[in-house]
Structure 1
Amino acid sequence: MPSNNTPPRVSFSRRRLIAGTAASVGCSATLSPLPSLFAETGESPKRILLRSSWQTVNIGDIAHTPGVLSLLREHLPETEVTLWPSSVDNGVEKLLRTEFPRLKIAKPRSKELQQAFQECDFLLHGSGASIVAERDLVRWHDETGKPYGIYGITFPMKKSSATSVRDEDAMARSVEVLSQARFVFFRDSKSLELAKRLGASSPMMEFGPDGAFACDLRDKSAADRFLETNQLQPGKFLCCIPRLRYTPYWTIKKGRKFDPIKHARNEAMKEHDHVLLREAIVQIARETDHQILVCPEDRTQMAVGKEMLMDQLPKDILPRVVWRPNYWLTGEAVSVYTQSAGLFGNEMHSPIMCIGHGVPAIVCRFEEQTTKGFMWEDIGLGDWLFDLDSVSDRERLVPTVMNLVTDREDALTKTEKARQFVSKRQQETMAALGQELQSPA
């Protein structure tokens, strides 16, 4: 959680925070106009190089980038942003350019990236499962000497490999990269605790929400067509997302080798990890007037949903359940989620996007995952975080899913409280970035 020794925020950000808080609780606040970020000094707009967009086979990985871009557009509107992506294929580049027409994109090994290294003032590493672009942060630091910050990551302990010395060296390099950052915002408090325990010493290390909370991409026309075609009534259906222990990337990524160990683990645990989702679907269909949409977060999950959910449901409830057979991009998914009554399942970023838009969402996790799921505790939704390897958690999962429908007022109240907490932290983290941009070079 946020530390007690946080440096004071710059005044323009603090005032924006006050105004936003007042609006969220229904109060009025009269404030003099906020100065633009660089108007007082007459400086040219500061330039940020955003390192993000890790892959496009997962709508959560897609969502990181537009989420952070939305925050920059809202809180630091006079900055110029260049995206340094790993991948913006499969229609994602067009999606980003449509939503953010001023965005510059500098792809790897391009002249645009060389120019960005010369012109940009600050590198911002976007949300991810780790310091995804650790080598690129080192390169930026070595080649430019200019500052960088890390926004909304999980910091996982390195997995054991052939030589423990190699693992220790890799972790030491990661700690050094964290320490050289002007700030590091961890998307779960367990990552923050680990970084501190290992000796990371960035001037600011705090909890900071995953960038995907702010993702507001929309494709309402596609969503509306999908709902109409499948006779899903807005507000009268829940979304359910399946997931195996390990994403079988070898089924969707060219050149990715089949992993027999991960495959065997998936096969051993797939019934264990989906039986309760089926029970929840059956109970909702039989005891409420809501339907269920089985949908994917990544390109592997349509098949998982078909095998582990649809094909094993009782025939009498199948008319109440819709299975989405094809992948979708983030805009359509968000536009469907925001018309649902809630979401539950074995994924993380669809719940993140739901909470960011005031939609109740339940997260199930297991030991193979990183600590990212614990962000649900950090934002006040610990009752909606379930460890599928815990007997006690398993016992309360189905009743809690039912409560999204039967105790609607409580579900919406919890969701809104978490959303406001996330929004406040987003404002504070953007204020920290604004302060860094105003600091002397």
Structure 2
Amino acid sequence: MLGMGWTGILMVHVVLVSGWQTVNIGDVAHTPGALRAFQRYAPEAKLTLWARSIDENVRRMLGRYFPDVEIVEDRVVPGEALSPALERLFAEGDLLVHGSGPSLVAQVEVAEWHRRTGKPHGVFGVTVDPLRPYGSTLARAASMISAIDGDLLTEHQREVLDTAAFVYCRDSLTERFLAGQDLGAPTIAFGPDATVMFDVVDDGDGQAVLAEYGLKPGRFLCVVPRLRFTPYHQIRNYPPAAEDVRRTAYNAGYLKSDLDVLRQTVIGWVRATGEPALVVPEMSYAMELAEAEFAGTFPADVADLVHILPRFWDLTEAAAVYRQAGAVVSMECHSPLIALAEGVPSVYLRQPTDTIKGQMYNDLGLPFVELGPGADVAAGQLLRKIADDRPAAAEVARQARDGAQERVRGMVEAAIAAVGSRIR
């Protein structure tokens, strides 16, 4: 409900629907990133988080950095009345913002908001990949998307996007796809994943890791492995369906060759710099993977400088360690963005089974490598370039971050403008 702030400027109540899962620190980072964006660029706005799936650790983190943000966790049940908390939220909120994510994760919630309130809503940096489950390089994906001739949106997706006040796509391939889907949204544009705004970390959160492995600020590499398909049946402990079995077999076919790219990259870094590498997780399954595939596999001249974090960690600890790293090389998409928010150079290694979200690295002017023949050489060259001129690499990262954050400023301004307010 619109009110007046202490400065006399109209205060908008923004409801952010976000918080998709906690087994991936990248999915956790979307939420504080978006909150930070509104906190910085629309300080008069009142913020409420409508959380889809968070745990106690995330609640503590949000309470620590965003103590004034109310959290509502009630869910919409189609065909049933809203809970009292949601009734109040729908009555008092002025704008619903769908947070950054891999898709329109909260399309049911957004559609319910639109039908019940008629108040504006918008999308704050998502990927909508029309090519799934088919994988490819980003260049081939671009040509495929240009060739799409027809409606590839579900009924819910179309309802949410057609009626949105703004749709920001975290990669330009999603923007290209949606621009050809005959949508009524007045703004469909590239807008970075809100993770680039997550810069509220306490250095103390990473001190234990640095001390345990003798890591010196700016003088170590963080390394993030992944499988081609996330083994959710293992993470969530449910019996594998046929598709899970199929994906497990597919993972096995590329496991050695994919992780050898990381292995060779680590070997090159250690030999060139004499500095250690720390293998760390973005997803909860990654440390079992790292222990099984990396432990005991490095040459004698390198082995003592390669460490494997034997546990999962939370977002704040990860960000605090990335902040101190000389570089981050990652097969996961969001660790480089977390590092970017801290101005730390990074290299993204994209697997062809990943979605078109990787296009965001092209859009932000950041280095990435498509896995395939020669990927180990290309990744090694990029890291060597970082190591050979660290000030220049850091400046590239800072410029990319500043450019991304300036785009996010525009996204926030557009969101507030959707309800007729203005920013100081």
Residue 403 (structure 2) pairs with residue 421 (structure 1): yes
**1:249/1:256 contact within 8 Å kept:** no
What does residue 353 of structure 1 align with? 338
Residue of 109, 112, 131 corresponding to 2:85: 112
Identity of aligned residues (%): 33
**Structural RMSD (CA):** 2.3
What does residue 315 of structure 2 align with? 330
- The Cα shift of 1:220 comes to 2.8
Structure 2 segments unaligned to the other structure (5+ residues) = 76-82, 135-149
- The Cα shift of 1:155 comes to 1.2
What does residue 253 of structure 1 align with? 236
Q: Deviations over 1:188-228 (max 9, x none)?
A: 00000000122223101111110111112424333111111
Structure 1 Cα separation of the partners of residues 397 and 133 of structure 2: 38
Give runs of aligned pairs for residues 206-221 of structure 1, distance below 5 A: 206-221=189-204
Q: Deviations over 1:358-415 (max 9, x none)?
A: 100100112211111111110112xx111103x3555422121222212223312321
SS at match of 1:62: helix
What does residue 21 of structure 2 align with? 55
Partner AA of 2:22 in structure 1: T
Residue 129 (structure 2) pairs with residue 156 (structure 1): yes
SS at match of 2:173: helix
**2:19/2:54 contact within 8 Å kept:** yes
The total of aligned residue pairs comes to 396
Residue 108 (structure 2) pairs with residue 126 (structure 1): no
- The Cα shift of 1:160 comes to 6.4
Q: Deviations over 1:261-280 (max 9, x none)?
A: 01001110111211111111
Structure 2 Cα separation of the partners of residues 59 and 199 of structure 1: 35
> Mean alpha-carbon deviation: is it higher for 289-298 or for 168-177?
168-177
What does residue 238 of structure 1 align with? 221
What does residue 433 of structure 1 align with? 415
Partner AA of 2:63 in structure 1: R
> Mean alpha-carbon deviation: is it higher for 351-360 or for 253-262?
253-262
Residue 439 and residue 101 in structure 1: after superposition, are their counterparts in 2 closer, same or farther (change >3 A)? Answer: closer
What does residue 411 of structure 1 align with? 393
What does residue 283 of structure 1 align with? 268
**2:22/2:55 contact within 8 Å kept:** yes
Residue 256 and residue 112 in structure 1: after superposition, are their counterparts in 2 closer, same or farther (change >3 A)? Answer: farther
Structure 1 Cα separation of the partners of residues 153 and 73 of structure 2: 26
**1:249/1:300 contact within 8 Å kept:** no
- The Cα shift of 1:284 comes to 1.6
Residue of 62, 65, 71 corresponding to 2:31: 65
**1:217/1:334 contact within 8 Å kept:** no
**2:98/2:123 contact within 8 Å kept:** yes
Structure 2 Cα separation of the partners of residues 352 and 39 of structure 1: 33
Partner AA of 1:352 in structure 2: L
**1:295/1:302 contact within 8 Å kept:** yes
Structure 2 Cα separation of the partners of residues 392 and 412 of structure 1: 25
**2:296/2:303 contact within 8 Å kept:** no
What does residue 93 of structure 1 align with? 59
SS at match of 1:239: strand
Residue of 120, 131, 142 corresponding to 1:147: 120
Residue 56 and residue 160 in structure 1: after superposition, are their counterparts in 2 closer, same or farther (change >3 A)? Answer: closer
What does residue 305 of structure 1 align with? 290
- The Cα shift of 1:42 comes to 5.2
Partner AA of 1:249 in structure 2: Y
What does residue 24 of structure 1 align with? none
Moved over 6 A (4+): none
Residue 347 (structure 2) pairs with residue 374 (structure 1): no
Give runs of aligned pairs for residues 167-186 of structure 1, distance below 5 A: 170-186=153-169
Q: Deviations over 1:23-53 (max 9, x none)?
A: xxxxxxxxxxxxxx95699576321111000
Residue 393 and residue 312 in structure 1: after superposition, are their counterparts in 2 closer, same or farther (change >3 A)? Answer: closer
- The Cα shift of 1:287 comes to 2.4
Partner AA of 1:57 in structure 2: V
Partner AA of 1:423 in structure 2: Q
- The Cα shift of 1:307 comes to 2.1
**2:108/2:156 contact within 8 Å kept:** no
> Mean alpha-carbon deviation: is it higher for 106-115 or for 299-308?
106-115
Structure 1 Cα separation of the partners of residues 221 and 353 of structure 2: 26
Residue 350 and residue 312 in structure 1: after superposition, are their counterparts in 2 closer, same or farther (change >3 A)? Answer: same
Residue 216 and residue 282 in structure 1: after superposition, are their counterparts in 2 closer, same or farther (change >3 A)? Answer: same
**1:216/1:331 contact within 8 Å kept:** no
Residue 294 and residue 131 in structure 1: after superposition, are their counterparts in 2 closer, same or farther (change >3 A)? Answer: same
Partner AA of 1:118 in structure 2: A
Q: Deviations over 1:321-380 (max 9, x none)?
A: 111011111111110000010100201111001112110010011221111111111011
**1:241/1:296 contact within 8 Å kept:** yes
Residue 53 (structure 2) pairs with residue 84 (structure 1): no
What does residue 18 of structure 1 align with? none
Partner AA of 1:406 in structure 2: D
Structure 1 Cα separation of the partners of residues 5 and 347 of structure 2: 44
Structure 2 Cα separation of the partners of residues 90 and 314 of structure 1: 41
